Every structure is written in structure tokens, then in C-alpha cells.
């Protein structure tokens, strides 16, 4: 009968606890729905031989660029910092997960004490006290508050992993951009210096004609002015070349002199040694496919980071709401206590205690609800930020596709213009040498050819940079991790490997 009554008493209590456990704080996270366009508006330049987006820079077919990006992905300090932050987040996640388990502390003490003669008790006595045992406590996660903390820490860890992968995208793109700027300005300087040499050679012809009395002195003055103008065009691309070199130094965490030596094959021990020399700006041979707009949600790691930040913010609503509910815990003590060390291990020295405890901040509900409202507002901000990031990402790709198409059109048009100017210059020079036309006509056509040559290099550089912009907008530069537990998918390479 007694057992029957106990069962009847325990049944309602179990039902109440089960109901309370189902009324946990917060809400379950649901990934926001995104209405992605069916296709991109801009033209796609990829074909069947398109390069993989994870290694988009190989589309340029430049071994030096490949090695520079590999070096940057291994040595870049921003990437190493991102890995360190990921390690910190993984450690914090471990702390949160351990909070779900009971805490057990071992203790022990040995004390000799004299009691005061002026207090109640063993006045003036000197006693020994020996104590050894264990203290245990376990907060029962009845309302799933700790589980919400675990969800938040998991989302934080995934967000930092996405930030690391996004940094790989940025580092690869910026390294390629700096390299193309460097090589493009080197080629531009070569073109400008070649034009300057042609102008100086033409000056010798003009000088001979003036000396022979068949041309006026003004022709020589005009040629000198043209040479001075050509010299004035050299400092700006040289400054851009130096700027690109220093950017490469920062990206690869190496001195600028080492980067220059690597590119110039000045150091036989350098990892770039033995590669063919760079003679002109590389062009993308096989562009990568842009894919569908919906693919962008998986490839762009800044979007994944924003989505995971939203998930963490939603979980922290539950963490804040946890304080609205009572907190139940079990505490216990087990040990041995004696005033004589010889008796410490005897059965009579054994003591223990165990019991439940409850704590409920009833008079702080207003403050707690305000904290919950703040957490809810932060989650709303994170959701808005995610939607905004998605819109910006779609716009980035559309802009990059359109800009690349326009750059390709401009480059083709400038190439055609250069060919036409070179044919015209050959005809004009022949007529000038026969004395059929004056120097002004020749100088005008020479300036047109010089400008077209420089524009050709600048247009090809701009087109190559547009390829980099598109790759970055598509989120290229990293390999998707295989599906698996969080602890596996977010684990970065070891320090001996690339970040």
C-alpha cells in the first residue's frame, strides 16, 4: 500500500517535470528563407573547360601567381589570426559543454587548532582535525538553458570557421590583384619605355633633317616636347608597381625585397626559382562558371558567417530566458573526518550528505525580461544583417559579371584601334620620309600609337582584375568540407599546414 501511494505521488510530479522540461526557454532556430533569382542577369564567360572555382587563379596559367597564392594562404598573418580565433572558440565551446556534466571536487585538510578560552565550547583546548572527501554538484538542465548555450557556442564556432574560409577568399583575391597590378604596370612601363626609345630615335632623324636645312627648327622643338611628355608618364606606373610589391609583401608576410627576388628569380633557393620568366600580363584562359544564384548561399563564406551569427543570436534568447525559470541542482558531500589521524580511515569517520536545491530569482523578473527583450532585438538585427548580406552578395556577382563583359569588349576595341593606328603610322612615316607631309602629322600619329599601346596594357590589366573581382564575388578560393559532425567540419589544418 505504501509503495502504491508513493507511485501515485510521484506520477503527478513526473508529469509536471516533463511538462516544464518541454517549456524550455527560447525558440528552435530555423534558417531564413531566401528568394534567390533563377539565373544571373549578366553574361557568363565560362565554357566547358572552365577552371575549378576553388582554385580559380589557375585559369591564368601563371606558375608564379599560383605559388604566390599558395605562399599567401600558408603565411598570411590575417589567416593565422583567424585560425587562432577559431582555436579560442573551440576551447570556449568545450567549457560550455562541460557545464552539462556534474562537478566533482576532491578536498583534504590537516589542521591543529587551539580554541579561545573566552568562547563557548572546548575552551583552551588544542585539537587536531583531519578531513578528506569529495564535494559534488550537478545543475539539472531541466529547461534546456545549458543546451541553448551549447547551441550558441556551436554557432559561434561555425561562424568563426566561415570567417577563416572567407579570409582565404580575400587573401587569394588580394594576392592575385597585387600580382596583376605588379605585372601589368611592369608591362606598361616596358611599353612606355619602348615608345620613348622610338621617339628618341625619331628625334635623331629630325635633327639630321634640321641640320641639313630641309626641316625647320620648330620640328626639333616639337619632338623634344613629345619626348619630355613621354618621360613624364613613367613615374606613375612605377609608383603603382612599388605599391603592388609592398602589398604582396604584407599578404605573404615577407619583406618586399624577398618577394621581388622571388619574382625575378634572383635567389636560387627561393620557391619561385626555376619558373619561366614573366614576359607579359597573364590572361585567363578558361574562366570559371558562375553557377546558379542559389549556389552563392553555400559558397560565400561571409553569408555563412552572417547566418551562423543569426543562429547564435537566436540561441542566446534561450540563454537569457533561462533566468526566468527555477534552477534545480543536486549537491552532495562524501568524506572522512577525525581528530586523530589513526582513526581517519575507520568506518566511524565516514560522513555524507545529499539533497536537492532550487533557486528562482522571483523579484528580478523585470530585469530578466528586459535582458530577454535585448537578446531578441539582437537576433532581429542579426537576421536583418544576413538578408542584407545576401542582397549585397547577389549584387556583387551581377556587377562583376557586367564589369567583366564590358572590360572584354573594351579590350577588343582597343586592340583593333591599336592595329589601325600602327597601320596608319607606317603609311604616315613613309610619306614623311619622302617629304610629302610635315612633322606635325607624324607626331600626331606617333602620339596616337603610343596612347593606344598604353591603353591596350591598361585594358588587359583591368580585364584580369575583373576576373579576380568575379572570383571573389562568387566566394572562390576554398574547398568545401565533407559533411560530418561540427567538431570535424570546423577543424582547421594544424599549424604545420596551410590555414
Looking at 118-127, 143-152, 303-312, 389-398, which range is the least confident one? 118-127
Mean pLDDT of the chain: 82
Instruction: Kindly report the three-state secondary structure assignment for every residue of the chain.
Output: CHHHHHHHHHHHHHHHHHHHHHCCCCCCCCCCCCCCCCCCCCCCCCCCCCCCHHHHHHHHCCHHHHHHHHHHHHHCHHHHHHHHHHHHHHHHHHHHHHCCCCEEEEEEEEEEEECCCCCCCCCCCEEEEEEEEEEEEEEECCCCHHHHHHHHHHHHHHHHHHHHHHHHHHHHHHHHHHHHHHHHHHHHHHHHHHHHHHHHHHHHHHHHHHHCCCCCHHHHHHHHHHHHHHHHCCHHHHHHHHHHHHHHHHHHCCCHHHHHHHHHCCCCCCCCCCCCCCCCCCCCCCCCCCCCHHHHHHHCHHHHHHHHHHHHHHHHHHHHHHHHCCEEEEEEEEEEEECCHHHCCCHHHEEEEEEEEEECCHHHHHHHHHHHHHHHHHHHHHHHHHHHHHHHHHHHHHHHHHHHHHHHHHHHHHHHHHHHHHHHHHHHHHHHHCCCCCHHHHHHHHHHHHHHHHHHHHHHHHHHHHHHHHHHHCCCCCCCCCCCCHHHHCCCCCCCCCC
Q: How many domains does the chain have?
A: 1
Assign 203 a pLDDT band (cuts: 50, 70, 90).
Answer: confident
CATH classification of the domain holding 85: 1.20.1600.10
Per-residue pLDDT reduced to its tens digit, 28-41: 888 888 888 888 88
Predicted TM-score (pTM) of this structure: 0.80
Determine, yes or no, domain membership for 128: no
Per-residue pLDDT reduced to its tens digit, 43-71: 665 554 567 888 899 889 888 898 899 88
pLDDT value of position 489: 39
Determine, yes or no, domain membership for 129: no
Determine, yes or no, domain membership for 375: no
Determine, yes or no, domain membership for 124: no
Assign 112 a pLDDT band (cuts: 50, 70, 90).
Answer: confident
Write out the residue range of the structural domain in which residue 239 sits. Answer: 24-100+141-325+381-489
C-alpha cell at position 190: 616596358
pLDDT value of position 334: 86
Greater model confidence, 78 or 494 = 78
Residue 195 has pLDDT above 70, yes or no: yes
Determine, yes or no, domain membership for 435: yes
Q: CA–CA distance from 160 to each of 152, 238, 302, 311, 378 (Å)?
A: 12, 39, 10, 13, 18
pLDDT value of position 270: 42
C-alpha cell at position 175: 594576392
Looking at 63-77, 336-350, 420-434, which range is the least confident one? 336-350
Determine, yes or no, domain membership for 135: no
Greater model confidence, 438 or 274 = 438
Per cent of the chain over pLDDT 90 is: 33
Determine, yes or no, domain membership for 80: yes
Determine the Cα–Cα distance for residues 211 and 411; give it in Å rounded to an integer: 42
Determine, yes or no, domain membership for 60: yes
Residue 380 has pLDDT above 90, yes or no: yes
Amino acid at each position: 500500500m505504501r509503495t502504491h501511494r508513493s507511485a501515485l505521488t510521484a506520477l503527478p510530479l513526473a508529469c509536471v517535470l516533463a511538462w516544464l522540461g518541454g517549456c524550455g526557454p527560447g525558440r528552435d532556430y530555423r534558417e531564413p528563407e531566401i528568394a534567390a533569382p533563377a539565373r544571373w542577369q549578366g553574361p557568363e564567360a565560362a565554357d566547358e573547360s572552365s577552371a575549378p572555382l576553388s582554385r580559380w587563379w589557375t585559369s591564368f596559367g601563371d606558375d608564379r601567381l599560383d605559388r604566390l597564392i599558395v605562399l599567401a594562404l600558408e603565411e598570411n598573418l590575417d589567416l593565422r589570426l583567424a585560425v587562432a580565433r577559431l582555436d579560442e572558440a573551440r576551447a570556449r565551446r568545450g567549457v560550455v559543454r562541460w557545464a552539462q556534466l556534474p562537478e566533482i571536487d576532491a578536498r583534504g585538510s590537516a589542521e591543529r587548532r587551539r580554541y579561545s578560552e573566552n568562547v563557548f565550547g572546548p575552551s583552551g583546548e588544542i585539537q587536531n582535525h583531519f578531513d578528506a572527501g569529495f564535494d559534488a554538484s550537478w545543475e539539472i538542465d531541466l529547461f534546456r538553458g545549458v543546451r541553448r548555450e551549447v547551441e550558441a557556442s556551436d554557432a559561434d564556432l561555425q561562424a568563426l570557421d566561415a570567417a577563416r574560409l572567407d579570409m582565404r577568399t580575400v587573401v587569394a583575391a588580394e594576392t592575385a590583384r597585387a600580382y596583376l597590378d605588379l605585372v601589368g604596370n611592369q608591362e606598361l612601363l616596358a611599353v612606355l619605355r619602348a615608345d620613348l626609345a622610338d621617339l628618341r630615335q625619331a628625334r635623331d632623324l629630325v635633327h639630321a633633317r634640321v641640320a641639313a636645312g630641309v626641316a625647320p627648327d620648330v620640328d626639333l622643338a616639337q619632338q623634344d616636347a613629345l619626348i619630355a611628355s613621354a618621360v613624364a608618364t613613367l613615374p606613375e606606373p612605377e609608383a603603382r608597381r612599388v605599391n603592388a610589391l609592398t602589398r604582396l609583401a604584407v599578404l605573404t608576410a615577407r619583406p618586399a625585397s624577398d618577394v621581388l627576388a622571388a619574382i625575378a628569380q634572383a635567389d636560387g633557393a627561393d620557391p619561385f626559382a626555376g619558373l619561366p620568366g614573366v614576359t607579359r600580363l597573364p590572361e585567363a584562359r578558361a574562366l570559371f562558371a558562375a553557377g546558379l544564384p542559389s549556389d552563392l548561399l553555400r559558397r560565400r563564406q561571409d553569408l555563412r558567417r552572417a547566418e551562423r551569427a543569426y543562429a547564435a543570436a537566436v540561441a542566446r534568447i534561450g540563454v537569457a530566458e533561462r533566468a526566468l525559470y527555477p534552477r534545480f541542482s543536486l549537491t552532495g558531500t562524501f568524506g572522512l573526518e577525525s581528530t586523530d589521524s589513526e582513526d581517519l580511515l575507520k568506518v566511524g569517520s565516514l560522513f555524507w550528505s545529499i539533497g536537492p536545491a532550487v533557486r528562482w530569482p522571483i523579484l528580478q523578473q523585470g530585469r530578466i525580461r528586459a535582458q530577454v527583450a535585448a537578446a531578441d532585438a539582437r537576433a532581429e538585427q542579426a537576421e536583418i544583417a544576413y538578408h542584407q548580406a545576401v542582397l549585397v552578395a547577389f549584387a556583387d556577382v551581377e556587377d562583376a559579371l557586367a564589369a567583366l563583359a564590358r572590360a572584354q569588349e573594351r579590350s577588343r576595341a582597343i586592340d583593333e584601334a591599336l592595329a589601325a593606328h600602327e597601320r596608319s603610322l607606317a603609311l604616315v612615316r613613309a610619306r614623311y620620309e619622302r617629304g610629302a607631309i610635315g612633322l606635325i602629322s607624324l607626331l600626331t600619329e606617333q602620339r596616337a600609337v603610343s596612347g593606344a599601346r598604353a591603353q591596350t596594357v591598361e585594358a588587359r590589366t583591368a580585364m584580369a582584375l575583373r576576373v579576380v573581382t568575379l572570383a571573389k564575388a562568387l566566394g572562390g578560393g576554398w574547398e568545401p568540407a565533407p559533411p560530418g559532425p561540427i567538431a570535424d567540419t570546423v577543424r582547421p589544418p594544424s599549424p604545420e599546414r596551410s590555414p
